[in-house]
Amino acid sequence: MTIQTRLRALVVEDEASTRQELAAMLAASPEVVEVSEADGGESAVRLLGTESYDAVFLDISMPGLDGMEVARLLSMLSAAPAIVFVTASEHHAVEAFGIGAADYLLKPIRPERLAEAVSRVAALRRPPPATPRPAGADELAVVQIETGRHTLFVHRDDIQFAEAHGDYVRLHTAEDSHLIRLSLTYLEEVWAPAGFVRAHRGYLVAIRWVTDLRVTSSSGLLACTPAGDVPVSRRHARALKERLLAAVRDEAR
């Protein structure tokens, strides 16, 4: 592995012994070149304001600024680090992957699971190899979903939004949702011509299915679809609104 692909990691944990143990485990990884530590959310945000990291290993339950709040702040950065949540409970797993977490580790951390998370982050940070596609190819107009002994075929036009779940994406239609092993970044690339727009680090939404935008005190800006509400981050709000306005103008012509 070349030095360019090795990771700079930040461990954010308020318990000193847990923080030091995780930092030591990361420092021993051949895929990690440097490890820094922060004893809470506030100190992590200060560090992230002056330093750049490839990955943040983030405890969820901390006094003051907790891990979820730190993660939401990170999602607004133009070059956000990968987030790996570290927690004693699975309670926040769905919310964590909705934020766009690369992985979710349960305490006590097993070395093999940590190694898997580090490898996953390293793969995310590497630029994907160029894969030429035939001109005019309409990729994934129909998505094939394998469910045990059955194979489902889901039409892209029926999908209202897509939600990241680690290495998987959950596709939401009016009637159901389906989990498929694809990256949200890949779907964003191949489905952009079909009107799918990034609304949040962990979500794509189909412009044609957005009925309105709504601001709530608890969740902020939401793009409403018949299949459910999609969170919209500040980073992506302007582009989404512009695409919605353009769609309305096109319909009016």
38, amino acid identity:
A
| pLDDT value for 2 | 38
- Please give the Cα distance from 103 to 119 (Å, whole number): 11
Residue with tokens 């489902």: 152
Residue range(s) of every CATH 2.40.50.1020 domain in the chain: 142-252
| pLDDT value for 96 | 67
Residue range(s) of every CATH 3.40.50.2300 domain in the chain: 3-125
Closest by CA position to 160, among listed 148, 181, 176? 176
Stretch 152-169: mean pLDDT: 91
Burial 212-245 (b: 16+ CB within 10 A, else e): ebeeeeeeebbbebebeebbbbebbbeebeebbe
CATH superfamily for 142-252 is LytTr DNA-binding domain (2.40.50.1020)
Residue 88 has pLDDT above 90, yes or no: no
Dump pLDDT digits (tens) for 209-222: 999 999 988 889 99
**Is 171 within 8 Å of 154 (Cβ atoms)?**
yes
- CATH class assigned to 3-125: alpha beta
Task: Indicate the pLDDT class of residue 246, thresholds 50, 70 and 90.
Answer: confident
